[in-house]
Amino acid sequence: MPVNAGARLDRLPLSSFHRRIMWLIGAGMFFDGFDIYLAGIVLGATVKSGFSTLSQNAQFVSATFVGMMLGSLVTGFLGDRLGRRFTYQSNLAIFGFASIAAAFAPSMQVLILIQCIIGFGLGAENVVGYSTLTEFVPPQSRGKWLGLMTVFVVTGLPAAALLGRLIIPTFGWRAMFMPGGFGALVVWYLRKKLPESPRWLESVGRAEEAEALLSAIESEVALHHAPLPPPMLSPLVKYSRNLSSLLSPAILPRMILGSVSLIVINSLLYGFVTWLPTFFVQQGLSIARSFNYSLVMALGAPIGSAIGAFTADSWGRKPTIIGACLLTILIGSFYPFIQTPAILMVTGFALIVPIYVLVALLFAIYIPELFPTEVRLRASGICNTFGRGAIIFTSFIVVALFRSHGIGGVLAFMIGLLIVEIMVVLTLGVEPKKRRLEEIEAEATVTPFPAEVRNP
C-alpha cells in the first residue's frame, strides 16, 4: 500500500516541526555561506601581506570550485542512494575539520589544497540542504521558506566581512578560518536530530520507515493544529532511477535550464562579488577601506535574498528571475563609470540586491523543484557541478579582464551571461509557483509505472 508521503506532508499546516527542520538545516547553511564568502575576505589580506600573488588567488578560487564541483556530483548520487540525512551530516564534518586545518597552512600551495577539501564539503551542503527542505515544506509556502533559507546562507557574507574587519587587522587572516570550522562541527552534533525525508524513503521502497516517520510528524503537528486536513491524493508515478533518465526529452530541457542558471549565478557571485575586496586593493584602497566598502555592499545580500523569498510565491519564479536579471544589467551598465566613493558604495549595494534575488531563486527555490524525488539530488548535483566547474575557468577570465579592461570588462562579461539566462528561462522554464512537487514531476514523466491512488 502506498504511503502517499507527498500528499500527507503537503497538507500539514506550518508548525514548530517545520521551523525546527529549517533551523537545523539553516544553521549549517549559514556556516556554509560563511566559508564560501571567506575567500573574498581572506584573499585581499593574503595578497597584501605577500603570502600570495594575484595568480595564486585565482588558483585558490579555482581549487574551491574543483572541490565544490566534486562535492556536488558525489553528493547528488549518494543523496539519492543513501539518503538526505547521511550525506548532509558527512559534508559538515568534512568542511568543519578542513576549515580548522586551513588556519595552520604553512604556504599558499598547502592552503590551496586544503581549500579544495573545504570546497568538497561546501558543494555537498548546497545540493542536499535546499533539496531536503524542498521535500518537507507545503507548496503554498515553499518559495518563501526556501528563499529564507538563502538568507541564512548569504548572512555569511556580511558576517565574514564584519569579522574580517575586526579580526584580520589584529589577529591576521588565519584566524578567519576558525569560526566557520568550529561552528560547522557544533551544528554537525546538533543536526543528529534531523529526520530523513519521508518522500525519499517512499521513493526507495522503505515504506514502513516512511509510514512510521510520517505518523510521528503528523502526531507532533496535530498537537497544535488538530484536526489535520485530509491529504489531496493524486496518481502515484514512479520514475526510473537510471542516469539515462536525465537525458529523456522531458528531463533534459530542465537539466539544461538548471545548468545554465547555475553557471550564470556562480559567475556573478564568484567572478564579481567575492573578488570585490581584491579589486579594491588593486585599485589602491587600503585593506581597512576595502573591507568597509565590501561590508556596506554585503548588506544587500540578505536583503536581496529576502526579497526573492517573499516574491517567489506571489510573482512566480520565472517573472522574478527575469526581472532581477534585467535590474542587474541596468545597474551594472553604469557602475564602472562611478568615481565618487559614497555613490560607488550606494550603487554597489543596489547592484548586490538583485544579484541575491537571483541567488534565492536559482540556488534555493527553482532548481530543486524541477526534478522528481527519485533523481532530485543527482540532477541538482549535476547542474551544480556544471555551475561550480565553470568558475574554475571564469576566475582566470575575470583576472585577465580586470588586468586589461578594469572592473568594466568584468561587468560586461557578467551582463552577457545574464542575457543568456533570460533567454534560457523564457524558452525552457516551467512555473512551479504554489504547485505540489508531484504535480511538477508529473510533467516530467520518465518511465511511468501503472498509476495507483489509495488512502494512506
Average model confidence (pLDDT) for the chain? 85
User: What are the tens digits of pLDDT across the range 259-289?
Assistant: 999 999 988 887 777 666 666 655 555 555 5
Which pLDDT tens digit goes with each residue over 365-392?
A: 999 999 988 889 999 999 999 988 887 7
**Would the pLDDT of 446 be above 50?**
no
User: Is 54 contained in some domain?
Assistant: yes
Domain CATH number, residue 21: 1.20.1250.20
| Residue 328 domain-assigned (yes or no) | yes
pLDDT higher than 80, residue 206: yes
pLDDT tens-digit readout, 213-225: 999 999 999 988 8
> Which residues, in sequence order, are bridge partners of residue 236?
452
Q: Which residues contact 106 (CB under 8 A, 6 or more apart)?
A: none
* pLDDT (tens digit per residue) in 128-184: 889 999 999 999 999 999 999 988 888 877 788 788 888 888 888 899 999 888 998
Q: Which pLDDT score is estimated for 34?
A: 86
pLDDT in tens, 185-201: 998 888 778 899 999 99
Per mean pLDDT, which range of 16-30, 102-116, 153-167, 251-265 is the poorest? 153-167
Site of grid cell 500500500: 1
The arithmetic mean of pLDDT across residues 413-422, rounded, is 94
Domain presence at residue 90: yes
Domain membership flag for residue 112: yes
Q: What residues are paired with 452 via a beta bridge?
A: 236
Could you tell me the residue range of the domain that residue 158 belongs to? 5-442
- Using pLDDT thresholds of 50, 70 and 90, give the confidence band for residue 308: very high
What integer pLDDT is reported at residue 281 of this predicted model?
59
152, part of any domain: yes
In a domain, 452, yes or no: no
Alpha helices in 50-155 (DSSP H): 54-82, 84-102, 108-134, 142-154
In a domain, 35, yes or no: yes
Residue with cell 574543483: 66
Question: Within a domain: residue 390?
Answer: yes
Predicted confidence (pLDDT) per residue in 323-346, tens digit: 999 999 998 888 777 777 778 778
Length of the chain: 456
Residue 209 clears pLDDT 60, i.e. is over it: yes
147-176 burial: b if 16+ Cβ within 10 Å, else e: bbbbbbbbbbbbbbbbbbbebbeeeebbeb
Q: How many domains does the chain have?
A: 1
